[in-house]
Amino acid sequence: MLNGPLPLDLSELEGRRFVCQDPCKLCCLCQPECLPGEVEFFKRNYPNRLVLKKEPHKHYALSLKKGQGSCSFLQGGRCEVYPHRPHFCRQFPFHIHVGSRAQVELDLSCRGVWLDQGEDAMAEGLRLVQENELEIRRTLKESVPVYREFTLNCLEAGLDVDVGKVRSQVTARLDELTDLRLIASLLEESVEEDELSIPDLKAKPVLDGKTMNELSHSALEMVTDSMAADELFQAPVYCAPDGSWNLFRVLGQKVEWHVMDAEGDVRKKGELPIKDIKLQQPQGRDRQVLRDYLKILNNRDSFMGYAFYLMDDYDYEDPWPNVYGGVLSTSVLDLLWRTSLLAAFFPGMKDGERMREGIIFYDMDRLDAPTLGAFI
């Protein structure tokens, strides 16, 4: 059992199950950092499979095939060192975010969390917390003062950062926030100087051509940041139902589609003009799936921490509701544009399936965004 009162939230795991699904192996594309004890094992047994990384800090990681593909230990769809795989491999698809508390978040890019099969996520999350309790407590000693300093900076700037209040206001309007008319208003009001009032926000009366063009432009700005990669292997990866690893890159006025195999070789499959990727208003089951995802995002400390990170980056000039409203609206647009991209390259998806696949494409990048606090 946990020793003493540890500030902990496991709510994202409620009612969830997960299973490792063949032939996915998405997690084997994530180059894992090795902890000190793991470094010693691999230095002793596989010295040529360790690489020294300098970003975001100096650390050892396992080598990738051809420097850019899957983990070099992935052979025939199986891990060659499974009993000795690093901490971060064992933990996937769970992420422990440590800020003002510890919160276990679930990576929804993992296809195995959507099947309602396998292990109970709550039980597994609690087990991971118990195994990592000392590291969580050590990290809390570092992260809590950072949050305290952030709060003081906000007070000095005259900003009232009431997280619970904003979360409650967003929760009360989750159904409406799946409507692009309200997203358009939220995006527009978030950049105004006056403080945004989420409860009083009015949706646009209609989704006319001008509004859709503005939303599409904002969405494209968001995805270009992540998809206009200089190096192809840095482009976002979508793991399709057949297990293929699909990379999409914005290049000029087109979107390129590439597929990477287990050996790290990449071949181009096609391309489409950007203008053919049409932002769509979610309907039916897609809209419900989006609502459920927004509920998860709104409760994630890492998502809130991203808004905090931006406030600090903006030198505490903007009101807190405006920053959070901007983060929420642009995140929705990023997700919807990716969903439209997948629908264009993989036509024939069913209602509800489209949004689920969009989230599978998006969530890993969402969890990889900067945040106040740390993942362990």
Residue by residue, pLDDT tens for the chain (376 residues) are 345 689 999 999 999 999 987 777 888 888 888 988 899 999 999 999 999 988 778 899 999 988 888 899 998 888 999 999 999 899 999 999 999 999 999 999 999 999 999 999 999 999 999 999 999 999 999 999 999 999 999 999 999 999 999 999 999 999 999 999 999 999 999 999 899 999 999 999 999 999 999 999 999 988 888 888 888 888 899 999 998 999 999 999 999 999 998 888 999 999 999 999 999 999 999 999 999 999 999 999 999 999 999 999 999 999 999 999 999 999 999 999 999 999 999 999 999 999 999 999 999 999 999 999 999 8
Q: CB atoms < 10 A from the CB of 192, how many?
A: 11
Contact assessment for residue 309 and residue 153, using Cβ atoms and an 8 Å cutoff: no
Phi/psi of residue 278, nearest 5 degrees: -100, 120
Q: Are 372 and 312 in contact (CB under 8 A)?
A: yes
DSSP string, 204-242: -S---HHHHHHHHHHHHHHHHHHHS-SSGGGS-EEE-TT
The 10 Å Cβ neighbour count of residue 300 is 21
> Of 297, 308, 361, 369, which Cα lies nearest the Cα of 56?
369
> How would you list the strands of the sheet with 254-260, edge to edge?
237-239, 245-251, 254-260, 266-273
Please state, in angstroms and rounded to a whole number, the distance separating the CA atoms of residues 86 and 83.
Answer: 9
In 3D space, the residue among 323, 320, 362 whose CA is nearest the CA of residue 341 turns out to be 362
Longest dimension (CA), the chain: 66
Query: Does residue 322 sit in helix, strand or coil?
Result: helix
Tell me if 99 sits within 8 A of 147, measured CB to CB. Answer: yes
Asked if 297 and 291 touch (Cβ cutoff 8 Å), the reply is no
Residues 6+ apart with CB under 8 A from 8: 2, 101, 102, 103, 104, 129
Look up residue 356 and give its amino acid: R
- 241 backbone dihedrals φ, ψ, rounded to 5°: -55, -30
Is the alpha carbon torsion for 181, 186, 191, 196 positive or negative? positive
Q: What is the pTM of this model?
A: 0.94
Cα 99 from chain centroid?
A: 17
- Asked if residue 342 lies in contact with residue 335, where contact means CB atoms within 8 angstroms, the answer is no
